[in-house]
Amino acid sequence: MSDDTLGAVRPAPSVAERLDRLPVLPTHRRITTVIGIGLLFDMYENNLSGTLSQVLRTDFALTATDVKLVLASVFLGQFFGAILMGRLADRLGRRRAFLVNLAIYSFFSLAGAFSPSVGWLIATRFLAGIGIGAEQTLSDSYLADMLPARHRGRLMAWAYTLGFCGVPAVGLTAMWLVPLAPFGVAGWRWLFALGAAGSAVVWAWRRGLFESPRWLAAVGRRAEAEALTARLEAEARSLGKPLTEPAGRDADPSGGAPEPGGRGVDPGSAVPSGPFLRQLFSPGLRRRTVQCWLLCLLSTVGYYGFGTLAPLVLAAKGYDVVQGLGYTATVFVGYPVGALLAVPLMDRVERRFLVALSALGMAVAGLGFAFAGSASTVIACGFAYTLVSNVFSSASHVFLAEQYPTRIRAQASGTAYSLSKLTAAALPFALLPVLERGGPGTLFATIAAAMVALAAAVVLLGARGADRTDEAGAPVGSS
């Protein structure tokens, strides 16, 4: 080894490298908890219309078309929200976007509680969807920015475990409130009001979050990024936790590769300039963009298809509204349990294989749910479906969040995620006729086919051993 090499000074570590060398801190746990509780209300919202579909059909004397519009309206709003808020998050910051999206959702969810007609209900569901549409994208981007790479999968799975508690929460609350009319107000209206009130509380908590140092560095606000990173390092030192030397470029999927001049590259600097779609389909990101878009388009058929249509499938099997809500609430307990199951798996199994295997599990459990002939079998298969589907969901959220560099992460993943909302908006129009004409068996055979196609796309389009990209778009091994 030459004297020049021995005397070489290692380039100063970038903000991204310094964030990735951190141990798990109380700040990381607090961030994970606050984001997770926000996700709880996103899950609550996503399953609210489907849970109440039979109730609303009776209360408003809805036609078949009205039911489809009510179910589709919130997802159509989420399609626009995911794109707009993702763009806002990359331009103005993750924290600001968080506050805007929850404020919009809370206001219009409360307005929906006072719906005098089906037209008002559809309009408020659409506008509430714009607010909540980017919640998962913003959460994924913020957590991917803030959490150390080697701990990211596990902590994000914990956030989604909290979030998925919103699914049984809406089912159990509906089962309790729907038969009642507290203070003379129909129980379903209280469900909308509870969602608005809870998200307002989360909005207040999120005001205490600080901006992502990775994003600050990506947009050139290096002094602020350095100050926040130093604050986290000081927290680690105060707890007696050692800070290892940054492992280099591959340690961080969101960038910070040092340059020869001795200064870290601002995260995102290697992303091609020009129109946004040109960036997405640049040589380093093209294959991953196709993979992510197919994942988001097809995942909705299995994931939201079950959550939205399960009450209607139960009705088709002959269960009344209250029985259907009871079975739905019990089955939906599988959501947080499945997310919890993902915690130990997330950093042990390559992300794309975990996504693919759980998608195939959804196909099998869905067919069992469709052909179940007794209440106990319905519950068992439904629980199995929700269990494996939330291993799938947790894995796919971490997978998607790690595919793009910091500078375009929120908008790029938001664009991909918006496709899932567009598919979800079309689901009632595409799948309800299948249920009505072919019954539950044909419906879940269609869903199973989509899940098999998804598994093939994720495995075949992914580079072996590379779940993530660095700032230049190059593959990085699974954390």
Tens digit of each residue's pLDDT (9 = 90 or more) over 173-225: 887 887 888 888 888 888 888 888 888 888 888 888 999 999 999 888 999 99
**Which stretch, 257-266, 391-400, 467-476, has highest mean pLDDT?**
391-400
pTM above 0.85, yes or no: no
Q: What average pLDDT does the segment 390-399 reach?
A: 89
Tell me, what's the pLDDT at 19? 92
Longest dimension (CA), the chain: 85
Task: Report how far apart the first and last C-alpha atoms of the chain are (Å, whole number).
Answer: 31
N residues, the chain: 479
Share of the chain above pLDDT 70, in %: 83
Q: How many CB atoms lie within 10 A of CB 374?
A: 8
Per-residue pLDDT band for 10 (boundaries 50, 70, 90) equals low
Tell me, what's the pLDDT at 257? 34
**Which stretch, 82-96, 143-157, 330-344, has highest mean pLDDT?**
143-157
pLDDT at 226 over 90: yes
pLDDT at 237 over 80: yes
Tell me, what's the pLDDT at 302? 85
Closest CA to 136 of 185, 177, 78, 183: 78
Pair 102, 202: CB distance under 8 Å: yes
DSSP per-residue codes, 262-310:
SSBPPTTTTSPPSSHHHHHTSTTTHHHHHHHHHHHHHHHHHHHHHHHHH
Beta strands in 356-478 (DSSP E): 466-469, 475-477
Share of the chain above pLDDT 90, in %: 21
Q: Which residue has the higher pLDDT, 52 or 156?
A: 156
Tell me, what's the pLDDT at 355? 94
Q: What average pLDDT does the segment 329-352 reach?
A: 82
Per-residue pLDDT band for 63 (boundaries 50, 70, 90) equals confident
Tell me, what's the pLDDT at 264? 34
pLDDT at 412 over 80: yes
Helix (H) or strand (E) holding 199: helix 187-206
Q: From residue 295, give the alpha-carbon distance in Å to each of 75, 206, 364.
A: 17, 30, 19
Per-residue pLDDT band for 325 (boundaries 50, 70, 90) equals low
Tell me, what's the pLDDT at 321? 46
Tell me, what's the pLDDT at 117? 87
Q: What average pLDDT does the segment 349-376 reach?
A: 88
